[in-house]
Structure formats: structure tokens, C-alpha cells
């Protein structure tokens, strides 16, 4: 939709000829921005409440920079995931003001200050089985914080020393959603699911020895958990867990 059509639509709303609901329906169906090598869904925020995020893995530095630059035209804040430290060396000098975290592999670019988070508002608790799971957990936690949600972390609380998790039980009981990140056999998520009344999102990681099969054993364990109220995302998909958790927190805030 070009500027003249948008102005006509807004004028129709102002005059009463078009209802706000009809205008929103039209905006939801706006076309994407075509870069030839990518088609940007610049109106995803209207439909889903979150803008499109750049998955950097497998893209060239030129492609990443161009996509982020175009998204920034439409959004004040842009997030990219799975940006390797090697690629970041090429990308960051070309995106002034961008911030990069090598642990989560997230790149953030903002025209405005980060959202103010209510310290007493609903929150997500992100827990990990071990220290090796932290990169995936940080992808989830930092993505949620970028979206404006409150996050509390508890790392290395796996079942090999379950008393470490029980030490966090008071905080877990207050959480509105929990993201449980674990590799090896993925047992942490089952235990967490049995301790809390809120939704639990399991994130299996590829951390483990050979029989872990790159995270498949943890994935299957979480899918077969006997604890109710558990949803499971793909292996190492911290970002997917963050989006799922954000939809829950957003509904609670409403």
C-alpha cells in the first residue's frame, strides 16, 4: 500500500465511511516488501503483535545488512537471531548503533530506548539444566527482554542435583510461564512441569554425548513427559520458545 492509498484509508476512517475494524482488516493484508532475495513481511506486527525477526544463519553479510536496513524503515527496533561472531565482524561496522551478544548470537538495532519493564508485572522464568545450555537460554531470555517482557533466570539447576532446582521453587511458583532449556536426557522439563501451575515450554538442546543424537533424545523425552501442561519447541530453538512465551505474557497484560 502506497502513501496515497493509506491516506485515503485513514481519511475514510476519520470521516466515518470506513470503520476502524475494516481499516485494520485491509492493513493486515498489505503486500510484502520484495528485495528479490527476500520478501519482508513488514506488517506482521499488525497481525501477530510482533514484527518479523531476521534469521541470520545461512545469509551473507550483504543480505543481513540490507534486510535489517529495510526493516528499520518500518520498525523502530529490529532483532536478528543466529548471527555468528564471524559474520558479526562484517555486519556490525555497517550498522551503526547495532548491539551484538556473542552468547545468544542476537543482534539488536533500535531507534528508541528499550521498553520499560514493569518490575511487578508478569514474568517468564528461564531455567537451564546446565551451564552448556546457556546460549540457547539466553537467546530466549534476551529475545523476551527485547519484546519488553520481564525475565528471571536460574541456570544450572538440572536433575543431577535436583536440590538446586528446588531452591528456586518459590520463584517458580510465581512465574506466569517457564522456559525449560535442557540437553542430555532433557529430564529438567518434566520435573519443572510437575512443580508449577503455569504453562511450561520445553527447549531441548543438542548438548550431550553421542546417544543424545544431537538433541533428539532430549526432544523425545520432553514430548513424552508425564507432567501435564508442557509444550515443546524444536531443538535449540530458544527464539521460538520466546515468541510462544511472549504471546502468553501479552495476553496476561491485556
Kindly list the domain boundaries of the chain, sorted by start residue.
12-110, 123-253
Q: For 192-199, what is the mean pLDDT? A: 94
What residues have CB less than 8 Å from 166, skipping those under 6 apart?
Answer: none
Q: Which of 218, 213, 215 is nearest to 230 (CA)?
A: 218
Q: At how many degrees (to 10) do helices 134-146 and 238-253 cross?
A: 40
Give the length of the chain.
254
Output the pLDDT for position 2: 47
> Measuring CA to CA, how many Å separate 203 from each of 44, 116, 232?
25, 27, 6
Neighbour count for residue 120 (Cβ, 10 Å): 7
Output the pLDDT for position 29: 58
The span from the CA of 76 to the CA of 221, in Å, is 40
What residues have CB less than 8 Å from 221, skipping those under 6 apart?
Answer: 185, 186, 187, 189, 190, 204
Q: Which of 200, 207, 208 is nearest to 232 (CA)?
A: 200
Give me Rg for the CA atoms of the chain.
20
Q: Position of cell 543481513?
A: 64
How do the residues of the chain divide into helix, strand and coil, expressed in percent and rounded to 5?
45, 15, 35
Q: Which residue has the higher pLDDT, 82 or 38?
A: 82
The span from the CA of 240 to the CA of 81, in Å, is 11
Q: Which residues of 135-150 are buried (b: 16+ CB within 10 A; e: fewer)?
A: bbbbbbbbbbbbbbbb
The span from the CA of 162 to the CA of 165, in Å, is 5
The span from the CA of 169 to the CA of 159, in Å, is 14
Task: Give residue-wise pLDDT tens across range 137-166.
Answer: 999 999 999 999 999 999 999 998 999 999
Output the pLDDT for position 244: 97
Q: What is the mean pLDDT of the chain?
A: 90
DSSP 99: E
Is 35 a residue whose pLDDT tops 90? Answer: no
Are 186 and 206 within 8 A, CB to CB? no
CATH assignment of 123-253? 3.40.50.1970
The span from the CA of 100 to the CA of 108, in Å, is 6
What residues have CB less than 8 Å from 43, skipping those under 6 apart?
Answer: 27, 28, 30
Task: Give residue-wise pLDDT tens across range 74-101.
Answer: 888 899 999 999 999 999 999 999 999 9
pLDDT grade, residue 30 (50/70/90)?
A: low
Residue 30, all three cell numbers: 498489505
Output the pLDDT for position 1: 45
Name the percent of the chain lying above pLDDT 90.
69
Q: For 193-208, what is the mean pLDDT? A: 95
Global pTM value = 0.86
Amino acid at each position: 500500500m502506497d502513501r496515497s492509498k493509506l491516506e485515503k484509508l485513514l481519511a475514510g476512517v476519520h470521516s466515518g465511511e470506513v470503520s476502524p475494524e475494516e481499516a485494520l482488516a485491509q492493513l493486515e493484508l498489505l503486500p510484502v516488501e520484495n528485495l528479490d532475495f527476500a520478501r519482508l513481511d513488514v506488517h506482521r506486527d499488525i497481525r501477530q503483535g510482533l514484527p518479523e525477526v531476521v534469521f541470520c544463519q545461512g545469509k551473507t553479510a550483504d543480505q543481513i545488512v540490507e534486510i535489517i536496513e529495510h526493516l528499520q524503515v518500518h520498525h523502530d527496533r529490529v532483532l536478528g537471531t543466529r548471527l555468528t561472531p564471524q559474520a558479526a565482524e562484517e555486519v556490525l561496522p555497517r550498522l551503526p548503533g547495532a548491539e551484538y551478544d556473542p552468547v545468544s548470537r542476537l543482534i539488536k538495532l533500535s531507534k528508541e530506548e528499550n521498553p520499560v519493564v514493569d518490575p511487578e508485572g508478569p514474568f517468564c522464568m528461564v531455567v537451564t539444566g546446565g551451564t552448556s545450555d546457556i546460549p540457547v537460554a539466553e537467546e530466549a531470555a534476551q529475545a523476551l527482554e527485547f519484546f519488553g517482557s520481564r525475565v528471571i533466570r536460574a541456570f544450572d539447576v538440572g536433575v543431577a542435583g535436583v536440590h538446586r532446582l528446588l531452591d528456586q521453587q518459590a520463584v517458580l511458583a510465581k512465574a506466569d510461564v517457564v522456559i525449560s532449556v535442557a540437553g542430555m536426557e532433557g529430564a529438567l522439563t518434566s520435573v519443572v512441569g510437575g512443580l508449577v501451575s503455569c504453562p511450561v515450554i520445553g527447549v531441548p538442546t543438542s548438548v550431550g554425548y553421542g546417544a543424545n543424537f544431537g538433541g533428539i533424545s532430549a526432544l523425545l523425552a520432553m514430548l513424552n513427559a508425564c507432567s501435564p501442561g508442557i509444550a515443546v519447541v524444536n531443538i535449540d530453538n530458544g527464539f521460538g520458545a520466546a515468541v510462544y512465551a511472549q504471546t502468553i505474557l501479552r495476553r496476561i497484560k491485556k
